[in-house]
Structure 1
């Protein structure tokens, strides 16, 4: 009997060890090269992790409650095992919110569609999120990761938001404006998070589609994302983020494609954007939020991407109070016929503070652009200009902007740089930045310090 017990314990030990080995997450490093210096990104590898099919946890086609519960249970099981891949098989799966846990890969197989509910009640209770650079308690993002490590969304399937409700929230009626005014004032007063609830009948602050919040070692690869209530992919206060080979189509209000905010060590590559707003917008908090959190967006490389529509290929700001530095966009294409304002647009105002430096762009091509290749503006306030007063003046130092080998067909200007006379912009270099047709002035420049370098070879 004793020998049998010893044998059973030995076999259990071997089985447990094998399970741990099978389910372990391998952390791999990607070396990213950039003109500001190379850096490494750590991402998870789930090739040795167990696969958990949501059908085995009770998911049923057309049944939102069963599928939502099954996905949550599969994520919990994968987490308990020390790592696992939650598989969404082919078919149309109606679901509510999805909340990640560490060491989980959500894999959307080819032919699979995760169709997210348009009922705001399915995204309650409120979670620690943000709205246009201000932290608050708001509706949960459709897919949400909070303080997670080693997570991924992969596959060849589709994530789609139903817009029936969200599109009615696009307008900004007085009640909505009063709510964001209240949030702005709470942020300015450094009110604690529990006083910043934005879930009520009037705020209608739409959730992000995907938010990686205070997380690390993140991979988003292969999937198609269609529609979004708000910003589509939002790495927030996160580090080690790789986003590659994804397709985004979102033409609602504030439908940026990818918004790295106060995030570091980011690689975005081989992605396709068809946006109602900026394709990629780098941010770092609004006003006191960025000053309080003191986390710049830093070390971000964007390469080999295609833009079909969007306000900008790359925007920096206007929420940039924590600072933005070390950004490189290279070898990207804006297709002819795209509706675009600028290729690169840096925007701030006297309330933001922060800083922008070490921004590089090279090997970009585009068709017609409604405005120009490079825009830098220091008085961009949108609705905030009349909604709330300036609480504290903090100007944004902007320097070391380098553009090289860029070609467009038709623009109003090559560069429009409107600095603040109280803190002029300096060190902007344009080399081989060309357009076939320039409708107005090649360069429109105000408030440069003496000796600023703006060089351009223009057709």
Structure 2
């Protein structure tokens, strides 16, 4: 434990020194780097993340933190982050106990480290997440409430430890509902994105819009580590790396049963590992994204080289969802050695092992998806479902500005066993652009309620 010292909270007003860097200029390495080389069936570079084990520690109590004082804690955490960043590497230490807080904005070369028994309890007051920051909503860029933890254009950045991040849901759970003003706001954002309105003009925090913030978003960051922590409850998507490179999420436990509470949403992110995690979700365990329509075509960055392994899923809509925001393209995904919690009753809300979903507005592509060695009890869907006309509430809410179909090919499932399921494989391709090259090897189920295979518009299907 570092020595305690007095600190004037007003120091948080000091000008930031050497904070986050431009995404295209992430070249400085102020901390030792770990190299993670994965054995994958596709060519994947080693992932590099920073090693904070010997970094200087910045205890938030030395900056005026007080467990029940949200304002003092917000200032203390910001000051400690600033000091660690100015030191060109440091660990911001959250001691045991419950600490009220609001938004946390990370900087480069900083590890937010939660001790065992520490809880950061985040306010549910929307005003605490203003001013608006450059973020996203379901694949469209905009200015919205700050994610509860947010990093923009940072490198060598981390969240670690044995503590907990927890969101109060008082307001967010009311916002889970989607009344007309909210749907109108979504339509407004959709039209702005389709018409290439500058992101700075897409201000979405006006009354009634109610676009809930992400819990954790790393936006245009590199060398990102999230390790060891627990996360409970969330306004929206839980962990969202957007336009990132070199990301590791390991030994993390997520429990969030609210609306849109996916566990991890990698979006236009490359070179990523998710391992040894536990997911207990109100939505998908992992939802692989690549942006929506015109915004993604503009950013032109696929999600690529993603490995998920050795994870336990307690509850989720799908183990792996791909899309429907996939307009930038998704390729080279390996998911292996994962299992659903034992028992058939677990499966309430569980759909498929893999669901690939898109529609005529998305364009993009999905290719080289490899899923192997998965075990599940009962699911409501099957091992593989591919749907190409998924529009949900958007079908009648907004028009199709530009029609682009999605190329889907090279999907490989092997050594998957289900105790109970509706089917093994259900593919609904499009006559204009059939799904191509799907192989299922040793994919079995003890009990089915429908035909094992039900495919339309598929070329090159093998089931052995």
TM-score range relative to shorter protein = over 0.9
Task: Give the deviation of 1:454 after TM superposition.
Answer: 2.1
Per-residue Cα deviation, 1:249-291 (whole angstroms, up to 9, x for no partner): 0011000000000000000000000000000000000000111
Task: Write the mapping of 1:42-441 to structure 2, written as runs, cut at 5 A.
Answer: 42-335=48-341, 336=343, 337-339=346-348, 340-441=350-451
Task: Give the deviation of 1:111 after TM superposition.
Answer: 0.5
2:461 corresponds to 1:453: yes
3-state secondary structure, aligned to 2:424: strand
3-state secondary structure, aligned to 1:445: strand
Q: Please say if residues 33 and 39 of structure 1, whose CA atoms lie closer than 8 Å, have aligned partners that are also in contact.
A: no
Q: Please say if residues 263 and 279 of structure 2, whose CA atoms lie closer than 8 Å, have aligned partners that are also in contact.
A: yes
Q: Please say if residues 352 and 395 of structure 1, whose CA atoms lie closer than 8 Å, have aligned partners that are also in contact.
A: yes
Task: Give the deviation of 1:445 after TM superposition.
Answer: 0.1
CA distance in 2, matches of 1:28, 1:413: 43
Q: Please say if residues 24 and 48 of structure 1, whose CA atoms lie closer than 8 Å, have aligned partners that are also in contact.
A: no
Asked which structure has the greater CA Rg, the reply is 1
Structure 1's unaligned 5+ residue stretches are 1-22
Q: Please say if residues 25 and 48 of structure 1, whose CA atoms lie closer than 8 Å, have aligned partners that are also in contact.
A: no
3-state secondary structure, aligned to 2:259: coil
Structure 2's unaligned 5+ residue stretches are 1-28
3-state secondary structure, aligned to 2:189: helix
CA distance in 1, matches of 2:340, 2:204: 37
- Which residue does 2:12 correspond to in 1? none
CA distance in 2, matches of 1:426, 1:236: 28
Task: Give the deviation of 1:25 after TM superposition.
Answer: 1.0
- Which residue does 1:18 correspond to in 2? none
Task: Give the deviation of 1:33 after TM superposition.
Answer: 1.5
- Which residue does 1:8 correspond to in 2? none
CA distance in 2, matches of 1:365, 1:167: 33
CA distance in 2, matches of 1:61, 1:261: 35
TM-score by length of 1: 0.93
Q: Please say if residues 114 and 162 of structure 2, whose CA atoms lie closer than 8 Å, have aligned partners that are also in contact.
A: yes
CA distance in 2, matches of 1:36, 1:440: 34
Per-residue Cα deviation, 1:297-342 (whole angstroms, up to 9, x for no partner): 0000000000000100000000000000000000000113233100
3-state secondary structure, aligned to 2:463: coil
3-state secondary structure, aligned to 1:125: coil
Task: Give the deviation of 1:443 after TM superposition.
Answer: 0.5
Q: How many residues align?
A: 432
Task: Give the deviation of 1:34 after TM superposition.
Answer: 1.2
CA distance in 2, matches of 1:453, 1:442: 14
Q: Please say if residues 176 and 204 of structure 1, whose CA atoms lie closer than 8 Å, have aligned partners that are also in contact.
A: yes
CA distance in 2, matches of 1:314, 1:373: 10
CA distance in 1, matches of 2:461, 2:271: 29
Q: Please say if residues 44 and 271 of structure 2, whose CA atoms lie closer than 8 Å, have aligned partners that are also in contact.
A: no
3-state secondary structure, aligned to 1:129: strand
Q: Please say if residues 307 and 338 of structure 1, whose CA atoms lie closer than 8 Å, have aligned partners that are also in contact.
A: no
CA distance in 2, matches of 1:49, 1:36: 34
CA distance in 2, matches of 1:376, 1:212: 29
Quote the RMSD (CA, aligned, Å): 0.9
Task: Give the deviation of 1:373 after TM superposition.
Answer: 1.0
CA distance in 2, matches of 1:103, 1:338: 41
Per-residue Cα deviation, 1:343-374 (whole angstroms, up to 9, x for no partner): 00000000000000000000000000011110
Task: Give the deviation of 1:48 after TM superposition.
Answer: 2.1
CA distance in 2, matches of 1:84, 1:194: 32
CA distance in 2, matches of 1:348, 1:354: 9
Per-residue Cα deviation, 1:386-434 (whole angstroms, up to 9, x for no partner): 1011111000000000000000000110000000111000100000000
3-state secondary structure, aligned to 1:200: coil
Task: Give the deviation of 1:38 after TM superposition.
Answer: 3.9
3-state secondary structure, aligned to 1:413: coil
Task: Give the deviation of 1:24 after TM superposition.
Answer: 4.6
Q: Please say if residues 355 and 396 of structure 1, whose CA atoms lie closer than 8 Å, have aligned partners that are also in contact.
A: yes
List, as ranges, runs of 4+ consecutive aligned residues in structure 1 with deviation greater than 2 Å: none
CA distance in 2, matches of 1:177, 1:115: 29
Task: Give the deviation of 1:128 after TM superposition.
Answer: 0.2
